[in-house]
């Protein structure tokens, strides 16, 4: 009997195959509190606007009641934006938790690994280059679909370049930073050489925004995120033993390379779905897992809590962007203002260690 099995025999848990997992009450409580906070901020975001709606009326309308005017304002006008922020935040939070766990580095995120940069470069190319193939791609798959493909392609490129009989976290980050720099250079070159009207449109998309979201945008992001979360949940049980080392995990029956590859692919797709729905919103995938890890007091970022922190952060940032100043700011400006100092904090802590 292994140490894990002994602990599981005296602590409520679940057993899957040859690996036992222990329920952690504190992590469960933190996750439930984060879910409640995310729902509260979600309802507050819906209620704020030129036609203010009280919190109780918002909740009643979401649950199927409410007056006709409240249903129109909430369900038709404001719900797509708020729901897009919720879905994108969850996708970025879980994506960041996966990449940081695989790389074993708090700096690993889709922003750093070039996924968002690749999606942005493809989208800017299609916006700034008119006619021919670019117009055909936009008309067939749309700008969001092209951005998703660009993020996926960049993520796969980084993975294959970093592969050396396995994935080393430090090498993955270095190659990700290099590829991200190349994508940023391509994006800058496209913006410099493009027509000024196309540049304005591309810049608005690159900042990251939830403005003018429709139910079609939300539907694609929602179903894509739910499908990927189902896969992540199924594989996550086999991911926990990897923190004990590949030899121990292999002894427990875990196929280390396959599990890492599937999870990293899911992380790239989650980031691509988020970028396709709201643009490359910066720093959410970097900050959310670290905050969730500290709240849950876990040695690695918990995926469920990371997704909820990401949703809370993005919806809250959008609420601040719409109400804190006389002008409405893109949500990416607020997340960058929050994430920039947090990144400096992580770098300082790493240097002190």
Give residue for tokens 């960058």: 336
Residue 243: predicted pLDDT: 65
Q: What is the pLDDT of residue 315?
A: 94
**pLDDT score recorded for residue 225:** 92
Q: How many residues does the chain have?
A: 353
* Model pTM score: 0.85
Q: How far is CA 322 from CA 171, 282, 326, in A?
A: 40, 18, 8
pLDDT (tens digit per residue) in 19-75: 444 557 888 899 999 999 999 999 999 988 888 888 888 888 888 887 888 888 888
Among residues 87, 46, 85, 82, the alpha carbon closest in space to that of 220 is found at 87
For residue 116, the enclosing domain spans 3-352
Contacts 24+ apart (CB under 8 A), 234-239: 235/259, 235/262, 235/263, 235/266, 236/263, 236/303, 237/16, 237/19, 237/21, 238/16, 238/19, 239/101, 239/263
Smallest Cα–Cα separation from 329: which of 197, 218, 211, 163? 211
Q: Which of 153, 144, 152 is nearest to 126 (CA)?
A: 144
**In the chain, how many domains are there?**
1
Domain at 66, CATH number: 1.10.3470.10
Contacts of 148 (CB under 8 A, 6+ apart): 119, 269, 272, 273, 275, 276
Specify the pLDDT at position 282.
87
CA distance 84 to 311: 10
Predicted local confidence at residue 11, as pLDDT? 42
For the chain, the three-class secondary structure string (H helix, E strand, C coil) is CCHHHHHHHHCCEEEECCEEEECCHHHHHHHHHHHHHHHHHHHHHHHCCCCCCCHHHHHHHHCCCCCHHHHHHHHHHHHHHHHHHHHHHHHHHHHHHHHHHHHCCCCCCCCCCCHHHHHHHHHHHHHHCCCHHHHHHHHHHHHHHHHHHHHHHHHHHHHHHHECCCECHHHHHHHHHHHHHHHHHHHHHHHHHCCHHHHHHHHHHHHCCCCCCCHHHHHHHHHHHHHHHHHHHHHHHHHHHHHHCHHHHHHCCCCHHHHHHHHHHHHHHHHHHHHHHHCCCCCHHHHHHHHHHHHHCCCCCCHHHHHHHHHHHHHHHHHHHHHCCCCCCCHHHHHHHHHHHHHHHHHHHHHHC
Confidence (pLDDT) at 20: 43
Compute the C-alpha angle 309/311/314, nearest 5°: 105
Q: Which residues contact 247 (CB under 8 A, 6 or more apart)?
A: none
Mean pLDDT (10-residue bins), the chain, 353 residues: 40 44 75 94 88 86 83 86 93 92 81 84 79 51 74 85 73 85 89 79 79 81 91 80 64 71 86 86 90 88 92 92 80 86 78 68
Residue 353's pLDDT is 65
pLDDT at res. 14:
45
**Residue 81, Cα to own-chain centre: how many angstroms?**
16
């Amino acid at each position: 009997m292994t140490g894990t099995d002994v602990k599981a025999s005296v602590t409520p848990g679940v057993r899957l195959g040859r690996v036992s997992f222990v329920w952690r009450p504190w992590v469960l409580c933190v996750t439930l509190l984060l879910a409640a906070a995310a729902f509260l901020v979600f309802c507050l975001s819906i209620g704020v606007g030129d036609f203010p709606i009280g919190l109780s009326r918002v909740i009643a309308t979401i649950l199927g009641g409410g007056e006709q005017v409240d249903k129109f304002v909430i369900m038709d006008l404001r719900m797509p934006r708020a729901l897009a922020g919720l879905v994108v935040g969850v996708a970025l939070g879980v994506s960041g938790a996966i990449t940081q766990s695989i790389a074993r580095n708090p700096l690993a995120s889709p922003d750093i690994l070039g996924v968002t940069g690749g999606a942005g470069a493809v989208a800017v190319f299609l916006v700034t280059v008119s006619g021919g193939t670019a117009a055909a791609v936009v008309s067939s798959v749309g700008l969001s679909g092209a951005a998703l493909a660009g993020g996926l392609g960049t993520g796969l490129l980084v993975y294959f370049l970093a592969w050396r009989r396995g994935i080393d976290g430090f090498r993955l980050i270095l190659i990700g930073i290099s590829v991200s720099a190349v994508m940023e250079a391509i994006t800058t070159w496209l913006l410099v050489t493009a027509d000024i009207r196309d540049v304005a449109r591309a810049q608005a998309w690159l900042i990251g925004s939830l403005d003018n979201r429709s139910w079609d945008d939300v539907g694609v992001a929602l179903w894509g995120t739910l499908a990927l979360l189902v896969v992540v949940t199924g594989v996550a049980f086999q991911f926990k033993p990897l923190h004990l080392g590949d030899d121990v995990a292999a002894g427990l029956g875990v196929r280390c390379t396959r599990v890492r590859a599937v999870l990293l692919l899911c992380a790239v797709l989650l980031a691509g779905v988020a970028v396709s729905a709201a643009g490359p919103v910066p720093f959410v995938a970097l900050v959310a897992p670290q905050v969730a890890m500290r709240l849950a007091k876990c040695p690695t970022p918990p995926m469920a809590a990371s997704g909820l922190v990401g949703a809370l952060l993005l919806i809250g940032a959008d609420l601040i962007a719409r109400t804190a100043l006389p002008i409405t700011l893109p949500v990416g400006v607020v997340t960058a203002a929050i994430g920039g100092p947090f990144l400096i904090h992580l770098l300082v802590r790493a240097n002190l260690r």
